[in-house]
Amino acid sequence: MIRVFFSEWRKLRRPTLFIGTMIAVSGVTALVTSLLFLLIDSVRGNAREGTVISRATLELAQGLSLGFSSSAGLLGLVALCIFASQTAQEYTYGTLRNLLVRQPKRLTLLVGKFLSMASFAFATVVVSLVVSVSLAFALSGKAKVATAAWTTTEARNGLLHTFINVLVSVLVYGTIGMILGLLLRSPITAISIGVAWLLVVENIISATVKHSAKWMPGQLSQTVASGGDFNSTYSHALLVLGGYLFLGVVVVSILFRRRDVSN
């Protein structure tokens, strides 16, 4: 499994993928955090779905991590694309057969690849955290937000909890991407369906069907990232997501062991 882990990292550390992803993550986080402060007095809202986060809220200890947690959904989509493409392209390029020659235990190969991509996702979350916190302090003066509470122990603990929640949320998105990649065996198809469902379809359904958001994986991942919201409780989100992922992992594990390795 260790060899599989480092073998996967040989692909993940390519400059076009690694640097490109980190730039994208930084840009997404910078955009979300900047809007949170620059639109602080806008009546149209400065956060997700037109939500208004006031100056008083930002001045609290947890205000430091609000921009970071608000970026979780977009970070998750980046993870979904990476997990799906890195999984499905093994079928597209026919390289899975070569990998199985070196590591014939299919589930060991699968777990090693997941752990490698999970560590890559961890790196993206760390970069996002650094960018968000740096921008929060940089823009606080322009937004006239007092930062005294941001340097307290409570703020640091809150930032740590938010980091864990965002990481869990991003890994959920990534796992969904990997499941789709194994099911569909096509990077473009897996990414298209995953992004379309999580970014478009879920928002339409949750906006038109009452209480549906508490059963949607994308919406629940956002709930986990924020530590619970008006859609669902934190424990409910974890429980439902755990059920979805368990079912998906069982299905793709069986298929991965029994299906032909070519697309």
- Residue 137 burial (CB count, 10 A): 13
The pLDDT assigned to 118 comes to 96
Inform me whether the pLDDT recorded for 56 exceeds 80: yes
Residue type present at position 30: A
* Cα 23 to Cα 131: distance, rounded to the nearest angstrom: 11
3-state secondary structure of 157: helix
Burial class (CB in 10 A: 0-12, 13-18, 19+), 135: buried
- pTM of the predicted protein model: 0.92
3-state secondary structure of 28: helix
* pLDDT range class, residue 192, cuts 50, 70, 90: very high
* Cα 213 to Cα 89: distance, rounded to the nearest angstrom: 32
Q: Cβ distance 165 to 223 under 8 Å? A: no
What's the rounded mean pLDDT across residues 116-145? Answer: 94
